[in-house]
Structure 1
């Protein structure tokens, strides 16, 4: 699921939006969402599509995603990409890489610790 979401976000960003944010992305995503939902079912609402796009932008290298996805679920990546600081994402990504899969859960305490870090 994680790799599929990365590919969907990447495809929308590169092939449809052409990596531009000139304001027309809202119209395209709003049109694309019901089309994908009708064809494939749930999981393609506008916020999910934007999250997939943000995911592919935050992790532009598919090899990184492929390496981390056995240890971090889509829910983990959702937590990481929601963080405002690139350093925080890096910290949590490295934490997830070292942790056992069942112990790699990103908590609010982790986020607070990163934000407070120098």
Structure 2
């Protein structure tokens, strides 16, 4: 009976350790994929801005470009590439000119919200707070806090 109890306790400890490893791995994989998408959206914004600046009548020409681009991207890659989101990607690039300053902890949703904050100092403060709190949440979820 005592051996069985020890075996159950050992399995519980082993399970707890392994499940912690797997949760951490999944959280890290999610963050890596998410940040790859953030960088891709920044790059899409960069390409759109550079293309528009070489165009003729920027406002009307840009609208037609985004409309056609949206249709083609949505057909191939699915939802998430409507004109509104493409405008956000363009604004994302214009607001965060240096992609090296982007925070790995933040999602595209975080950045879309940050784009609403016009004051750069306030936006940076919110960005750092969101990154700090997201990191804490990841630690909690992985059982490391």
Same fold at TM > 0.5: yes
Q: TM-score, normalised by structure 1?
A: 0.73
Give ranges in structure 2 of 5+ residues lacking alignment. 1-36, 138-145
Equivalent of residue 3 in structure 1, options 6, 23, 39 = 39
For 1:68-83, list aligned pairs within 5 A. 68-69=103-104, 71-83=105-117
Shift of 1:47: 0.2
Moved over 6 A (4+): none
From the two aligned structures, give the one with the greater helix fraction. Answer: 2
Equivalenced residues, count: 100
Shift of 1:97: 4.1
Q: TM-score, normalised by structure 2?
A: 0.60
Q: Which residue of 1 aligns with 2:130?
A: 96
Shift of 1:56: 0.8
The structure, 1 or 2, with the larger RCO (C-alpha pairs under 8 Å, 6+ apart) is: 2
Cα 1:19–1:94 shift into 2, 3 Å = farther
Q: Deviations over 1:64-102 (max 9, x none)?
A: 12xx02x11111111101223223212212323443435
Shift of 1:39: 1.8
2:59 matches 1:28? no
Q: Deviations over 1:31-76 (max 9, x none)?
A: 11101111221110000000001011111101112xx02x111111
What SS does the aligned partner of 1:17 have? helix
Q: Which has the larger radius of gyration?
A: 2
In the aligned structure 1, how far is the partner of 2:100 from the partner of 2:133? 19
